[in-house]
A and B are shown apart, each in its own frame.
Chain A
Amino acid sequence: MKEKKLNLIFILFWLIALLLVPPLFPRYLLHVFIIAHIYAAFALSWDLLAGYVGELSLGHSLFFGLGAYSIGYLSGKFGVDPWLSIGISCIVTVVWGLLIGLPCLRLRGPYLAIVTLAFQMLFFLLANSLYNLTGGEEGIRNIERVFNSTESYYYLSVFLVIIAFIICYLLVSSKYGLIFRTIRENPEAAEAAGVNIVNYKMLGYMVSALIAGLAGSYQALYLKIATPDTLSMALTFSAITIVAIGGKGTLVGAVLGSYVTTFIFDRFAFLKDYKMLMYSIVLVLCVLFFRNGLAGAVKRVLLWRKMGVDNMPGGGKA
């Protein structure tokens, strides 16, 4: 049960650190933190699916974009209260999760991965082409400004990412987490034990969609605009990179990975064209040699004992 303690300590330290950020750092860095938190929440939702439910969502930015466009629509076009809009956009993403998940999760094989990818590319296409509906490349603007100071947006982003973390954490540490693990490791056994695999996968998928949508609608709220790049493949790719660097199936990894990549991205802006190349090579190397990511490495140091790779949560059979 050391893991549970570690996670609690992590949340505590994290919260304190986050509250110290505004007085200590220049204002521009607050913005970088906000972006890091949006990415962290999005990466958490991807990690929940890939690391625990055992399904890959290759078009995950679909939900991010749906969240962003929903709030754009509601607040930007119809003037609905932005807070209410966030709530409704979460419902919208969950419904879409349901629509895509139901046919795909019944099937074994890479169906979900391919279909989410196909949907993401379709929606990206439509967002660009249905000018009257989506604003095309310009996106949907005029989302109501809710705060005047960057600090307020910062605290809201802290709230968002902590909530996302706690939802994921509660889900995977409950009995559902255990069932997820069984489904992932041994679906036949789970089925034999009378577990309705589809229902459980559906639950995981919908929670994941919800968090991704929340992250997307928060970004739209903060930037006051929802554009097609919230639906882009590059966004999914950054979530995968973040989780691979941070450590798949650890949740903490998604958060750590997000800070590291966002700040490195911010610092290495001079790398220009080579940035994505560096990213993707780091990702390939992580998948091959660094399967447990930063979270795994940190945990190994903290637990201070020799641990085989196989004992790591979410670890593979290296």
Chain B
Amino acid sequence: MVKRNKLFAVAMVLFLLVGTLGCSSQSQSGSGDSKDNPKQPYKIGLLIPMSGDAGDHGQIMIDGAKIAQEEINAAGGILGRQVELIPFDSAANTEKGVTGAKKLIEQDKVDALVGTYRTGVALAVMDVAADAKIPFLISMAASDEIRNKIGKDNSYYKYVFKVAPDVADYTANLLPFLTDITKAKTYYYAAENTAWAKQLGSVMKKQAEAAGIKLVGEAYVDTSATEFTATIMDIKKANPDVVVCGIITAPGVPFAKQYYDAKVPVPMVVTSGVLTIPNTIKNMGAQSDYISFGLFNIDKPITDLTVPFWEKFQEKYGYRGTGFNEVKTYDSIRILAEAINKAGSFDKDALAKTLETEQFKGLAGTYKFDETDHQAKWGEGYVNGVLAEWKDGKAQVIWPENVRDSALIRAPWWK
């Protein structure tokens, strides 16, 4: 036994030593300078989660980014330079995100950064990018704290732009369900006990009140909750016209199942999360029916790019997009390329100026960034979302009217 252990010990040490040494030699060979040289590729660093609890979002972002890369390169690249993508796994972790940003900037010498899924990562990476004066397009992280931070010191964060929707955009996406589709007077907010859902709740309340809709009850359930009898009883007691659901992680599914089984006579609309992912819904059977939800994109002619992209995506990768991760990553890279092409030079200040003043077409609409806080604008004529409803495992678009499949399909037990 002892002998075998010794042998293993030696093997282990050798393995680790070779690993470390092999690596440090690799670090010296990697170098890329002479910027702006037309023969050099334009390098875009992608900071995305590929492991950790948000790990399954990473691959879909890469898949979306690759389509953008192909299209740009086929159209002649960015001012003649081919686009090269360098992904780094930020594991949705702040420390790994900063490490990734530093590696991409200082070692891989990328020309721009795109990505970050978690707001915490985005906030930390913003500083690294701003220090290094590298353009950074935040593609997914949503919190309005990012916008506020840029707005407060917009000369420091000159090259940071937020393609991702703002909190207020998430709720604005759901609002037509209350105002147009159900003509509700009251609503109930059931959400999980996270900062994100709370922010969403308070913004929702403001927007709903402005539209004359009253909040009649709120429930914040635990992220590991599995039993929702109390919540559903409370909803029945409050008797609202609509339930707005902000449960976006694991408890969303058991909640929806119990909600269906309890035949609550109130339509429910959920925000982008676990209940809007086709793969999750697939095996829920009838229990997913009549759930309406907000989406940022779907294969409808929202702009002339949208349908071809969804078709290409499905054909290339053999699965359907989610309407968020791949769309926002694609749009970010496209905007970056278009802005440099429009500016006509690789000068970063020219790029920032173009991004601040021009408009850019993407899958989700027309992007126009706010001049001070660099947030992509939301609403009619800008970026806009869709509302859909699950029926027999398929998403039926119910809003906006010009692209919808059908009107809201009513459950027999609704009042």
Contact = CB atoms under 8 A, between A and B. Distances in A.
B292 interface: no
B24 interface: yes
A141 B22 CA distance: 37
A296 B9 contact: yes
A28 B95 CA distance: 14
A266 interface: yes
B16 A264 contact: yes
Contact of A229 (B51, B102, B120, B194): B120
B301 interface: no
B2 A318 contact: yes
A267 B107 CA distance: 12
Interface residues of A, number: 56
Contacts of A297: 9-10, 12-13
Interface string A280-305: 00000110011110101110100000
Contacts of A267: 19-20, 22-23, 26-27
A283 to B, nearest CB: 12
Nearest to A294: B13
A31 to B, nearest CB: 5
B145 interface: yes
B75 interface: no
Given A128-B223, A129-B193, A297-B9, A28 B102 contact: yes
A28 B123 contact: no
- A interface, by DSSP: helix, strand, loop or mixed? helix
B8 interface: yes
Contacts of B1: 318
Interface string A120-158: 000001001111001111110100000000000000000
A219 interface: yes
B51 to A, nearest CB: 6
B195 A137 contact: yes
Interface string A161-174: 00000000000000
Interface stretch (A85-93, A105-113, A196-204, A220-228): A220-228
- B interface, by DSSP: helix, strand, loop or mixed? helix
Interface string B42-65: 000000001110010010000000
Most chain A C-beta atoms within 10 Å of own C-beta, residue among B22, B102, B103, B195:
B195
B20 A138 contact: no
Contacts of B98: 31, 223
A81 to B, nearest CB: 20
Contact of B99 (A26, A224, A266): A266
A77 interface: no
Contact of B50 (A136, A137, A272, A292): A272
Interface of B: 1-2, 4-6, 8-10, 12-13, 16, 19-20, 22-24, 26-27, 50-52, 55, 58, 88-89, 92-95, 98-100, 102-103, 106-107, 118-121, 123-124, 127, 143, 145, 149, 193-196, 198-199, 220, 222-224
Interface of A: 26-29, 31-32, 35, 125, 128-131, 134-139, 141, 219, 223-225, 227-230, 232, 234, 245, 259-260, 263-264, 266-269, 272-273, 275-276, 285-286, 289-292, 294, 296-298, 300, 308-309, 318
Given A289-B4, A292-B9, 9 more contacts: A26-B27, A137-B194, A225-B120, A229-B93, A264-B20, A290-B5, A290-B9, A297-B10, A318-B1
